[in-house]
Amino acid sequence: MQLKIPTSGGGGGQAKYIIIGAILVVILAMMPLLMIITVISSIGGDQAAKEQQQGAKEIPFQALYQEVASKYTSIPWTILAAVHFYSDEYDIHLSALSTGSAASLKGKNPTYLALVNKYAQMRGLDPLLVAAIIQQESNWNPKANSGATGCGRDIGARGLMQVMPCHYEGDGLDADDVGYDPETSIKYGTKIFKSCLDQFKATDVALACYNGGAGTVQNAGGRVPSSPKETAEYPGKVLAHYERFKAESNSQPVNEEKEKDKNLIKISDVKKWLQDKAESISGQIRIHSDSSRSSGQCTKTAKEKKEKGATIGTFSFPLSCGIFYTAPKKYLSNDDTTWDYVEMVEKKSQEYMGASGPVSFGDLVMAGGSLPLPTPLKIEISSKFGCRVHPVTGVLKFHYGIDMPVPTNTPVIAVADGKVEYVKNDHLIGHSVMIDHGQMTLKKNGTPTTANFKSRYLHMISVSVKPGQQVVKGQEIAKSGGAQGIVYSTGAHLHFETYINGAVVNPYPLLTGKNDNPNMNCYHRTGG
């Protein structure tokens, strides 16, 4: 079609041509822009999908919350995080994440260094030591892979920090998609090293753990093993890089002016604040769990508010009272304002619970798949198997399972196919269920073992199965919540036990693939 555009004059027909031509010109002119918008939209969608796939965003101070809360079985770390979030000190404490030394190494990718500084500061690690690990693992090549197989993959360790696929899969990520991403590798690599450091304390032993795994170090008596050779030599090689980086780098405070300030907030200050707050809340929980020390009015009010639809009493009513009586001054104008604060904290806690990512199950195969946690929530283990000081009586006593803090009415699920052996109820411990899973193949530390396996679940508020009933893996069998004797003493939680060939065993390795070296030096039974 040829456009007729007159140079002068013109009647109505010519005007129509002009209008049509103008419209077409505008459309043609806009086509490149529309294409750009389409591409940007596609990129944005891909980025959003990637961010979703990369899993939950790390919560500031998360490792610190978990460390402090682990000492208090009645305070989930997400509650402590929410209390901190609404405190007057939170914004000030955030400055602690941007202080300390930052690695500035010549010839290294500044983007990678920024990520090293970010996650090292977040986890309280020396960024130069993290940089030294990267130097040894990948020589700063984000596309590096070990060539070894692992976790059922043709390619095992990969990326800047050579993280194994299992660590990603535990969080629902695919190593083929995220394993070579620099930030993801550094995020998970620092998390793994921090875990090793927390467990073994000594830097050289923690480095051996990072290279060979915690089991290798434990088998060596908690020392750097003499074999395999790679693990034995690994700490020395990394520490050599570390000393060189310290000598060569421009390791300077991120903010020199703040470093000069005597009032500079440090991570240790934040930890002390959290410990004091947790102790205060714990003290209030003990008071409101003891009828001889409390009138019961606070827990009664909390229960009434929950019945009216408020997000209060999520874990336990004494915990809600602990939050109530330790509220910041700005929420103390009247009781309603303080209860609003309690609800804000418990709602924020639920947000954190959903954002923190699932627990990694490690290298364990049962009936062809990983043994899941007995609850669909993304939770932490608050009390492990073995000798412990009882949180209520203060007496050293053996703990025959693991505790997982979960809100009342949280679904409890069967960890494998089986038959319900019994259902019991006790006014102190609530409902309990034992499931006989029969002969099962367990793959632990790479060695398959066939044995009779049973699982036991305690402190439920209701049960939906009957003795003799067949259940399948992942089926809801009960609701958590316990009975008054449990909920009011240590907070709502699920207690989980495992038995192999009739003997009670530590559930932790079965869920995580790791050995946590339980303390067995107190009286304990071995049978069911």
Residue pLDDT, tens place only, 417-444: 889 999 998 766 788 999 999 888 765 5
Spatial CA neighbour of 123 closest among 201, 195, 39: 195
Query: Mean pLDDT for each 10-residue chunk of the chain (528 residues)?
Result: 32 50 56 45 38 50 80 79 94 70 71 87 87 94 78 76 84 81 93 90 93 89 92 94 80 45 71 94 86 83 89 81 95 95 91 52 35 76 78 73 85 89 83 91 63 90 92 85 54 85 83 73 63
The answer to whether the predicted template modeling score (pTM) of the entire model surpasses 0.85 is: no
CA distance 391 to 401: 15
CA distance 341 to 86: 8
Residue pLDDT, tens place only, 209-253: 999 888 889 889 989 999 999 999 999 999 999 888 888 765 444
CA distance 4 to 95: 68
The per-residue b/e assignment along 249-288, b for 16 or more CB within 10 angstroms, e otherwise, is: bebeeeeeeeeeeeebbebeebbebbbebbeebbebbbbb
Residue with tokens 């991570």: 267
Coil, helix or strand for 497?
Answer: strand
> In whole angstroms, what separates CA 461 from the centre of its chain?
26
Give 419-453 as a DSSP string. EEEEEEEETTTEEEEEEEEEEEEEEETTEEEEEEE
Report the run of H or E that residue 101 belongs to, with start and end: strand 101-102
Residue with tokens 């620099």: 182
**Looking at this protein, which amino acid is placed at residue 141?**
N
With contact defined as beta carbons under 8 Å apart, do 488 and 289 qualify?
yes
Paired tokens of 348: 């924020």
Spatial CA neighbour of 328 closest among 313, 312, 344: 344
Q: How large is the angle between the packed helices 317-324 and 335-355, nearest 10 degrees?
A: 120
Q: Which long-range contacts (CB under 8 A, 24 or more apart) does 146-154 make?
A: 151/175, 151/363
CA distance 519 to 341: 39
Q: How crowded is the C-beta side of 410, counted as CA atoms within 13 Å?
A: 28
Helix then strand then coil, in percent of the chain rounded to 5, is: 45, 15, 40
CA distance 319 to 391: 14
Residue 481, CA distances (Å) to 65, 105, 324, 491, 507 in order: 24, 53, 21, 9, 21
| Tally of CB atoms within 10 A around 238 | 24
CA distance 183 to 483: 45
Coil, helix or strand for 251?
Answer: coil
CA distance 238 to 248: 15
Report the run of H or E that residue 318 belongs to, with start and end: helix 317-324
